[in-house]
Amino acid sequence: MRTVLTGGTGVIGRASVTALRDAGHDVVVVTRSASGSAVVEQLGAVPVRGDVLDLESLATAYEGADAVVNLATKVPVGHAALVPGAWRRNDRLRTTGVGNVIEAARRAGVRRVVQESVSVLYAEQGDEWITEESPVDITPMTEPAAVGESLVQDYSCDSRVGVVLRFGTIVGDDPQTRYWLRATASGRRVGIGHPAGWAHVIHTDDLGGAVLASLHAPSGVYNVGAEPVQRLDLVQGYADAASVESGEFMRAWGRWLIGPRLEPLARSLRVSSDHFAAQTGWRASRRKFERGWFDAALTLHDLHR
């Protein structure tokens, strides 16, 4: 299958390129720069110049594609997320960018579109299990992702497949995990939400396999992640990895400072990925969160100190 990716040099993108290539797919990645093209070539894929915010370049890149996978995001890391305007590009990628992906796919006659999304769209559910039928809660943080999802769902029809992957919070060897490990080691409060609440997580090792599996999924929205973990255990896992006694949760004033932009990250989300498993056979290889999820970040980036 000839598969064209946007966002192919990010955390999910790199894992996906490797998984697709190893499975024998013809992988093309849209890049905006020479440095991005160099990364793509190192991954063993074919770079093509273009931009998810440039419709004409996308339409050209998608010619002859059997499937397109849009993983383009620009999520600010750590407390940079609180800077005014930090989310502007990410919001644009999830709205205008997804719209361009859909229109370019139509023009090129592409029959399958896969779109990355996030499970924090779901409304707070406490200890209740969350499936794809559970209610969502649209806020300034979640609205752009919801817009992107609706565009993909509108693309789906009898002759076209639109797949949305609602990923859990990524944990493993990625910039966000490394940031929180350093913050924990320095004694900062990194816990968001109630300690007894649930978090939907996925290890970096499982990202590529999920995207590969999505190329055979029927149209629809799918939750993608490991078993949910209680937030107290997640924060303590960071503390253990950072060699401190215990992780701390943000106080009320800290939650107020974060404001509505990051409120979805505090929701208790006990998300089930069983539907995706039933449709594709995919299950996380790292099914249950534990201290070893941080080993690669600690070893490869010298975070032991």
Sorted by where each starts, the structural domains of the chain and their CATH numbers stand as 2-300 (3.40.50.720)
Give residue 305's pLDDT band: very low, low, confident or very high (50, 70, 90): very low
pLDDT of residue 252: 66
Residue 305: exposure state from Cβ atoms within 10 A (0-12, 13-18, ≥19): exposed
- Here the tokens at position 210 are 């999920």
Per-residue pLDDT of 235-285, as tens digits, reads 999 999 999 988 788 876 555 556 666 789 889 999 999 999 999 999 999
Longest dimension (CA), the chain: 56
Return d(Cα 268, Cα 274) in angstroms, integer: 18
Say what the alpha-carbon torsion angle 102, 91, 30, 32 is, to the nearest 10 degrees: 140
N- to C-terminal Cα separation, the chain: 45
Q: Tell me phi and psi for residue 96, to 5 degrees.
A: -60, -45
Q: For residues 278-295, give the mean pLDDT.
A: 96
User: Per-residue pLDDT tens for 127-139?
Assistant: 999 999 999 999 9
Q: Averaged over 94-102, what is the pLDDT?
A: 97
Please state which of the ranges 41-50, 80-89, 124-133, 176-185 shows the lowest mean pLDDT: 80-89
Among the listed residues 215, 8, 223, the one whose alpha carbon sits nearest the alpha carbon of residue 114: 215
- Residue % of the chain over a pLDDT of 90: 83
